[in-house]
A and B are shown apart, each in its own frame.
Chain A
Amino acid sequence: MKHTLSVLVENKPGALTRVTSMFARRGYNIESLAVGPTERDDVSRITLRVDCAQHSLEQIEKQMHKLVNVLRVQELAPGESVERELALLKVAAPASKRTELMALADVFGARVADLGPDSIVFELTGSPEELDSFQELVRPHGLQELVRTGRIGLGRAARPTRSRAQQQVMV
């Protein structure tokens, strides 16, 4: 079963490597990965998609918690979170096909990011499933290149946001 994990890490060199190395070492496969800044300069968020059994997921969460740079690990459960992804798709677009492609893009709310004589680069943000659909629909037209960011997500607005103060260890 697939799970999305949202991991807050200290914004320090090597933090991402430590997380991904743990996955490699323990034999878990990362399906997608997105890393970026958060509302705090000193904290980054890693959103990971993994395909594993519930028992393995618990192991992954616990092993990640042990990493010194990891501040919080949370599963983004379907229904309790919003997940989005961005895709850029370069599609073959001879003049005869453009209208049809533009109409298709319109339905999905995809923007034209760039336009060339023979192709169009579409930009689409949406749920990963919407991206899948759009990708399959434009594929027959000649999908020349594709890049997706990997999903990112947040708990739903109705859920309380837990924030943890920086902890000073007195020794």
Chain B
Amino acid sequence: MTGADAVLRTLEAEGVEVMFGLPGGAILPLYDAMARGTTIRHVLARHEQGAGHMAEGYARASGRAGVAVATSGPGATNLVTPIADAWMDSTPLVCITGQVRSHLIGTDAFQECDITGITIPIVKHSWLVQDVEELAHTLKAAFHVAQTGRCGPVLVDIPRDVQEAEFDFALAETISLPGWKPPRRGHARQIAAAAKAVAAAERPILYVGGGALNAHATDELRALAEAARLPVVTTLMAKSAFPESHELHVGWPGMHGPKWSNWALNKADVIVAVGARFDDRVTGKLSAFAPGATVVHLDIDAAEISKIRHADIPVVGPLKPVLTELGKVLADELTEGKTEPWLRQIAEWEEQFPLRYGEDNTILKPQRVLEALQELTAGRDDMVWTTGVGQHQMWAMQYIRCERPRTFITSGGLGTMGYGIPAAVGAKAARPDATVVCVDGDGCFQMTAQELATSVLEDLPIVVVIVNNGYLGMVRQWQDMFFAERFSQVNLTQTVPDYAALARAYGALGFTVENEEELDVALEAALSSGRTCVVDARVDPREHCFPMIPAGAAATDVLEYTAEESVTA
């Protein structure tokens, strides 16, 4: 058997169903092996960055590692952005790249680049396979590393001659990774201390991060929250980890989170961080963040403990058993009704500080687009959302309600514009039953729009709703608020390109809407079409995303929408 065939047999044995990629010279033998036969579906992307984000979207929607394939040189470097994105958001991603023939490595051969070297700071681990005999073990190890401990990206670089080499293939039964020892359980004494702190708290809160989704621990999380009557805030990465219609869900903390959510987190006396990492977009000015709180930090990654905020009670371990254990120990220590006054206080803040924007009959407001989407899809259990990065992403966080895990897929840590469309295609591949909607910005759309072709031709229909304000809207907002309204290089225009016409050119359905009536009609048509659709919603370009915690300000100092702001904006 050749090395290339061995790659496919190993991926099949790992349970891979779909891979996303684009062929080229150094990966030709692997694509030739695909042509000879494999049970794995290959989705042909139009750009390797698209393939990488598709694999990420697949991973986030399915909970299994996504697989991206690219050739050497530029193919591999185009994967760098998705790899960095997966690194920041702890998305399990296995990248397989072709490399020039072994004897050419180091000679600056055509399409040669040191991709293992380039990606060292943004992968959990990477391998350059130098001997075909190592191939099966290496790939098995790659899947193991990507999906155990804190999830993340790995890369396997395979020279062309290794793909072509003939050898006696056998599936790897065991792998030897003497240096890879992710924790298997939390420390019982630490869990007991955590339970004591939570039981004693007057104002406890669960601050949930993306780790809860990666750990498949959402049932355990809910059980704990309900048993102890703990309010829950979910970060952007954790959106959908806890049902958002649940009375204990108290919103999303951070720069554009509602004021009441930030107040709940910052005024708590015990914060239980669950797979969250105290990102600067959540904490705001660190010295002013939740000054009175005792921090219980549950995380599988020991390096996150006390990295940013000192953890008074750290518990290092996989969240699923840790949350179960914590719930068990806590059950004996709870005082009935103890958190009710605190929950009432948060509910009062929610009443007091609702999300608001300036309604205007003469122009379509961007928030209205998200509200309409939410109204049209409320109660449906088949929705999966993806987003790009910017204002539209924050409005999606604020207005879309997610009830089931893995239904909100977004680029958090890296903030990768253009993530939405390919991630939606990947999510659709993972969840063919789902209606996948990408809430996009006009800036983001133009970064990865070519993957509409993939969506159409691979029969992976998605609905792209462009919140089109004709600007790099978040940048414009910052220039408006913090750079004395000097707008610098942010005007994209709402009309070039004509997004609906572009969609039609790709074989998708295109809609252009400029008011609420057109919006509702187009969204209903798009959601029920079963085809790839682009809805170009032309919205008020002056709208700012509120609430907002200015960079460097305390998380409790939230700027909210005011009527005056709307006039000056």
Listed in ascending order, the chain A residues whose CB lies under 8 Å from chain B are 9-10, 13-14, 17-18, 21-22, 25, 55, 58-59, 62-63, 65-71, 164, 166-171
Q: Provide the main secondary structure of the chain B interface.
A: mixed
- As a 0/1 sequence over residues 118 to 146 of chain B, the CB contacts with chain A under 8 angstroms (1 = contact) are 00110011101000000000001000110
Q: How far apart are A171's CB and chain B's nearest CB, in angstroms?
A: 6
* CB < 8 Å neighbour of A171 from B116, B174, B178, B302: B174
List 23 A-B residue pairs with CB atoms under 8 Å apart, sorted by A's residue number.
Answer: A9-B179, A13-B128, A14-B116, A14-B120, A14-B126, A14-B128, A17-B120, A22-B121, A59-B303, A62-B303, A62-B305, A63-B303, A65-B303, A68-B145, A68-B180, A69-B179, A164-B178, A166-B176, A167-B177, A168-B175, A169-B177, A169-B180, A171-B175
B307 contacts which chain A residues (CB < 8 A)?
A: 59
Asked if B36 is at the interface of the complex by the 8 Å CB criterion, the answer is no
Report, nearest first, the 6 A-B pairs whose CB atoms are least far apart: A62-B303, A68-B125, A25-B121, A21-B120, A71-B179, A68-B180
Chain B count of residues within 8 A CB distance of the other chain: 27
Q: Contact at B306–A168, with CB atoms within 8 Å?
A: no
Q: Secondary structure of the A side of the interface? A: mixed
Residue in B124, B174, B303, B305 whose beta carbon sits within 8 Å of that of A68 in the complex: B124
Known: A9-B179, A14-B120. A62 touches B144 (CB 8 A): no
> Is B117 interfacial (CB-CB < 8 Å)?
yes
In the complex, the chain B residue whose C-beta lies closest to that of A43 is B178
Q: How many A-B residue pairs have CB under 8 A?
A: 65
A58 CA to B117 CA, complexed, in Å: 26
CA distance A20 to B485 in the complex (A): 44
CA distance A25 to B116 in the complex (A): 16
Q: Is B181 an interface residue (CB 8 A)?
A: yes
Q: A169-B144, A169-B174 are in contact. List 11 more A-B contacts (CB 8 A).
A: A9-B179, A14-B117, A14-B126, A14-B128, A21-B121, A62-B305, A66-B149, A71-B179, A168-B176, A169-B176, A171-B175
Q: How far is the CA of A130 from the CA of B445 in the complex (A)?
A: 64
**Quick one: which of B117, B144, B176 contacts A17, CB cutoff 8 A?**
B117
Could you mark each residue 462-483 of chain B with 1 if its beta carbon is under 8 Å from any beta carbon of chain A, else 0? 0000000000000000000000
Output the nearest chain A residue to B302 by Cβ-Cβ distance: A62
Q: Given the interface contacts A17-B117, A21-B120, does A167 sit within 8 Å of B303 by beta carbon?
A: no
CB distance from A19 to the nearest CB of B (A): 10
Q: Among A18, A65, A67, point to the contact of B302 (Cβ < 8 A).
A: A65
A58 to B144: give the CA distance in the assembly, Å.
26
Contact B140 A171 (CB under 8 A): yes
Q: Are B120's CB and A167's CB within 8 A?
A: no
A66 and B303 form a contact (CB under 8 A) = yes
CA distance A9 to B125 in the complex (A): 14
- Complex Cα distance, B37 from A146, in Å, reads 63
Give Cα A22 to B125, complex, Å: 12
Instruction: Please tell me if the beta carbons of B303 and A71 are within 8 angstroms of each other in the complex.
Output: no
Contact of B306 among A17, A22, A58, A164 (CB under 8 A): A58
Task: Give the nearest-CB partner of B150 in chain A.
Answer: A66
Q: Which residues of B contact A65 (CB under 8 A)?
A: 302-303
Q: How far is the CB of B540 from chain A (nearest CB, A)?
A: 41
Q: Min CB distance, B450 to chain A, in Å?
A: 32
Cα separation A47 to B175 with both chains bound (whole Å): 28
- Complex CA gap A29/B388 in Å reads 36
Interface 1/0 per residue, B219-263 and A, CB below 8 Å: 000000000000000000000000000000000000000000000
Among residues 175 to 216 in chain B, which have CB atoms less than 8 Å away from a CB atom of chain A? 175-181
Chain B 301-344, CB-CB to A under 8 Å as 1, else 0, gives 11101110000000000000000000000000000000000000
Q: When chains A and B are docked, how far (Å) is the Cα of A22 from the Cα of B87?
A: 14
How far, in whole Å, are A170 and B173 apart by their CA atoms in the complex? Answer: 7
Residues of A within 8 A of B301 (CB): 66
Would you list which residues of chain B between 100 and 123 have a CB under 8 Å from chain A?
A: 116-117, 120-121
Query: Smallest distance from the beta carbon of A54 to chain B beta carbons, Å?
Result: 11
Query: A140 to chain B: closest CB distance in Å?
Result: 45
Contact call A166/B120, Cβ cutoff below 8 A: no
Q: Is the CB of B179 within 8 A of A169?
A: no
